[in-house]
Structure 1
Amino acid sequence: MKLTVVGGGSTYTPELIDGFARLRDTLPVRELVLVDPAADRLDLVGGLARRIFARQGHDGRIVTTSDLDAAVDGADAVLLQLRVGGQAARQQDETWPLECGCVGQETTGAGGLAKALRTVPVVLDIAERVRRANPDAWIIDFTNPVGIVTRALLRAGHRAVGLCNVAIGLQRKFAGLLGVAPADVHLDHVGLNHLTWETAVRLGGPEGADVLPRLLAEHGDAVAAGLRLPRPLLDRLGAVPSYYLRYYYAHDEVVGELRTKPSRAAEVAEMERQLLRMYADPALDEKPALLAERGGAYYSEAAVDLAAALLGGAGSPYQVVNTFNRGTLPFLPDDAVIEVPAAVGGKGAAPLPVADVDPLYAGLMANVTAYEDLALDAALRGGRDRVFRALLAHPLVGQYGYAEQLTDLLVAHNREHLAWA
């Protein structure tokens, strides 16, 4: 089969390549195309990718190109991991919201909206070109904000599934704490992308016994430390929120921290410079240890599993993905994109039934879903007023004065990426 990675020049790509090489029995890739407009980065990443394949005895062909249409021609699946504006835009997303006392983050709040506005039109153009090249191809979206981007793709009729590494990361962490194999841990994972809770942790299968109370009793301190949330909060919730919920549950504390330390974007930019120097070494034929600090842990395993299931291979039949709600959560519209366990196969992803959701979580999901609807409208049709409405609806903004200031800042910092500005 042929797979194409859009954004193949990313410094993260060797993690994905390592997964393709190790898990070739699950996903037998014969041709892997890395496409990226940054030719210098693509050459370095492509060279390392070929060396990783060779070291691990994978005989698949790796092609690098800046020609998107050639890259997606005949592809069975296309993985999207692009960043419009690069790390420079991310640096802005993480800093200018702080001027208004709001969280600066690349996937949520005002910064997340800016990223969505830059990204959605580009992704939809790519998707149309994929559809023209092969209408049966699957699009796997790892591009943030995954929920909004996936919603745009699905609304436009594309064969798309969104993917995030939060669930697989928690699955692996819980398995380690419980001393069991990751495959034996099944999560009752519910919410929206980057707004999720683990309401049960089951051993042995989706219907297995819930060991979440035991996990919190025996390992609650370790779980809380990883989330940077207080242990008593987890005990009161009786659930494990994703680490992104800290932006909501400890907003002012996070803003104070962000104002006094270098941005994550600055850290990643420096890390990328170091990684590219490493990738240039012709003796390097495995992913360097530094790559683990880049983020996106276990994405390669999740991506392989999802692609294999969609393409009729050996992928797991049940996976946590982003897809249309379709009545799964009755308090959300059918076309909302939710992140839940789903049955995955050649026809796509069908959400599994979800237990009644605590109003504490359902209310926030409904609020953020309304924001995402307004954000997608702004991304598709543009206009300062639509940006303002989306910001006013976001629970991390919510006040008209902040929404006015943030709208001006967003447009000023993103004018080159907004066709209507």
Structure 2
Amino acid sequence: MQNKIKIVTIGGGSSYTPELIEGLILRKDRLPIAELWLVDIADGTEKMEIVGNMAKRMIAAAGLDWQVHLTLDRKAALKDADYVTTQFRVGLLDARLKDEVIPLANGLLGQETNGAGGLFKAFRTIPVILEIIDDMRVLCPNAWLVDFTNPAGMVTEAAIKYGQWEKTVGLCNVPFSHITQACELLETPEAELNFKFAGLNHFHWHRVWDNKGNERTAELIDKIYAPEQRDRSDEGLKNIHQIPFHYEQVKHLGILPCGYHRYYYLQEPMLAHAVEEFRQYETRAEVVKKTEKRLFELYKDVNLNYKPEELSQRGGAHYSDAACDLIAAIQNNTGKQMVVSTRNNGAIADLPFDCIVEVTAAITAHGPEPLRWGALPPAARGMIQLMKAMEETTIEAAVTGDYGAALHAFTINPLIPAGDTAIKVLDALLYAHKAYLPKFAEKIAQIERDKPEIVAFVDQLLADREAHA
């Protein structure tokens, strides 16, 4: 009989937690759980209590005897943990709002993991991940770190390269959406198809074969992107505006793009749509705030002991499939193929051997074994090499607080035109997030002292958004 395991979820007060609990319950025969700890910060106490009590109801309804603990004491929770999952947002949804509206007010894309907002999410998150690893090194030195916190690829790279925590795996639910879409269009069960993904988190491509060895990638490109199939180009990703890709471009590439590639292949119309949402006070953060408010009202119902359908509107579909499948695969050494962020180890020939990539890998008890993809087409190779350099520079800035590195990351990013506007947005975001960027404290103090126009712009913008909330 397997030893009982302890799972710790940091960011336990997240609206996603019922999705995770459902996934664990569905895999109860493969996961001998003894303890489940939900951890949050003081500002998240109320939400953690609400969602934690719901988790207890779900587990009781499943007839399980798992011990569920709710705590603000991260160190107490981490003691002797076997798996540590992360799903937190530094600065909560207010920080996401700033990431979106400050760039958009300046004509740049504002998005959670892409463009200027994505870089700042990394700046805030990476130091916290490294602090968690410092605690794990003492309290649970053999635990796996399963990261679902965005930007997952950069967070995973920071954990492995700077935190030296080799037992780190990054996860994303986006590949599941593409797999589901392919199965539906090919009218074939997933078990009869073979998928291979390669790229970076929110910047990958994939190919598909059937169980007879026939590649179906070109067929899928036609079924999804041909002009007469434009209504099929929706992958079901709730947080991305579904503008159809250019058929001829995808056909030339010969591999299937990630939904997030719209920000790069269709930059102008995606930006225009985001700017219109900004003008209507309907950025994704503002929409999600309202969705979460409704969800937590549902979660308060003492009779609710199952995941409500409304959670699908939050954008977390397949979250539990990714996180729980990974834990079960490691725990049982199954070799299951999954799409994860892990060390490249030569899987993508065009990127450094030791960098973190998002690829299909066989999941074993010693971690992911990435499947070899080989070289990407030149049209993809140039883009991914640029993006990887941007990621590496972003991580450096997050770890060191080097303003020059942050500006360089902005300059490399394809969604940020270099120049005065980029510097204005960089400085404005530094000031707006000053409570969560201690490594940049000296530069932020300089901005507050020498650039009163930046301070006034941010304060007025955020007051306006708050007035319309």
Return the match for 1:282 from 293, 302, 306. 302
Contact 2:330 2:363 in 1 (8 A): yes
* Partner SS state of residue 95, structure 1: helix
Return the match for 1:65 from 60, 68, 71. 71
Q: Which residue of 2 aligns with 1:83?
A: 89
Q: Hey, what's the Cα distance between the residues in 1 that align with 2:422 and 2:354?
A: 26
Summarize the Cα distance change of 1:253–1:72 in structure 2 as closer, same or farther, 3 Å threshold. Answer: same
Q: Which residue of 1 aligns with 2:265?
A: 249
The one-letter code sitting in structure 1 at the alignment partner of 2:185 is L
| CA deviation vs aligned residue, 1:256-310 (integer Å, no higher than 9, x gap) | 1111121010111111111111111101111111101111211101111111222
Matches within 5 A, 1:124-203: 124-155=130-161, 156-158=163-165, 159-198=167-206, 200-203=207-210
Counterpart check, 1:269 vs 2:289: yes
Contact 2:345 2:354 in 1 (8 A): yes
* Partner SS state of residue 161, structure 1: strand
Q: Which residue of 2 aligns with 1:104?
A: 110
Counterpart check, 1:49 vs 2:65: no
**How far does residue 316 in structure 1 lie from its aligned partner after superposition?**
4.8
Return the match for 2:243 from 228, 241, 246. 228
TM-score, structure 1 as length reference: 0.95
* Partner SS state of residue 389, structure 1: helix
**How far does residue 26 in structure 1 lie from its aligned partner after superposition?**
2.8
Please identify, of 385-394 and 315-324, the stretch whose mean Cα deviation from structure 2 is larger: 315-324
Structure 1 gaps of 5+ residues are: none
| CA deviation vs aligned residue, 1:322-374 (integer Å, no higher than 9, x gap) | 01112222322223210011122121112111132111111111001111111
Counterpart check, 1:371 vs 2:387: no
| CA deviation vs aligned residue, 1:40-98 (integer Å, no higher than 9, x gap) | 11111011111111222333222111110111111110001010000000011011112
**How far does residue 400 in structure 1 lie from its aligned partner after superposition?**
2.8
**How far does residue 19 in structure 1 lie from its aligned partner after superposition?**
0.8
Contact 2:109 2:115 in 1 (8 A): yes
Contact 1:102 1:255 in 2 (8 A): yes
Please identify, of 136-145 and 333-342, the stretch whose mean Cα deviation from structure 2 is larger: 333-342
Matches within 5 A, 1:325-340: 325-340=344-359
Q: Which residue of 2 aligns with 1:238?
A: 254
Q: Hey, what's the Cα distance between the residues in 1 that align with 2:133 and 2:22?
A: 26
Determine what percentage of the aligned residue pairs are the same residue. Answer: 37
* Partner SS state of residue 349, structure 1: strand
| CA deviation vs aligned residue, 1:207-230 (integer Å, no higher than 9, x gap) | 832112223334542542445323
Q: Hey, what's the Cα distance between the residues in 1 that align with 2:86 and 2:93?
A: 17
Paired residues in the alignment total 417
* Partner SS state of residue 101, structure 1: coil
Structure 2 gaps of 5+ residues are: 236-241, 442-469
Q: Hey, what's the Cα distance between the residues in 2 that align with 1:213 and 1:331?
A: 23
* Partner SS state of residue 9, structure 2: strand
The one-letter code sitting in structure 2 at the alignment partner of 1:256 is A
Contact 1:146 1:162 in 2 (8 A): yes
Q: Hey, what's the Cα distance between the residues in 1 that align with 2:307 and 2:332?
A: 29
Q: Hey, what's the Cα distance between the residues in 1 that align with 2:189 and 2:64?
A: 26
Return the match for 1:28 from 23, 32, 54. 32
Q: Hey, what's the Cα distance between the residues in 2 that align with 1:177 and 1:29?
A: 37
**How far does residue 248 in structure 1 lie from its aligned partner after superposition?**
0.6
Q: Hey, what's the Cα distance between the residues in 1 that align with 2:335 and 2:183?
A: 17
Largest Rg, 1 or 2: 2
Contact 1:384 1:407 in 2 (8 A): no
Contact 1:171 1:185 in 2 (8 A): no
Return the match for 1:122 from 113, 121, 128. 128
**How far does residue 231 in structure 1 lie from its aligned partner after superposition?**
5.5
Q: Hey, what's the Cα distance between the residues in 2 that align with 1:377 and 1:219?
A: 38
Q: Hey, what's the Cα distance between the residues in 2 that align with 1:162 and 1:402?
A: 33
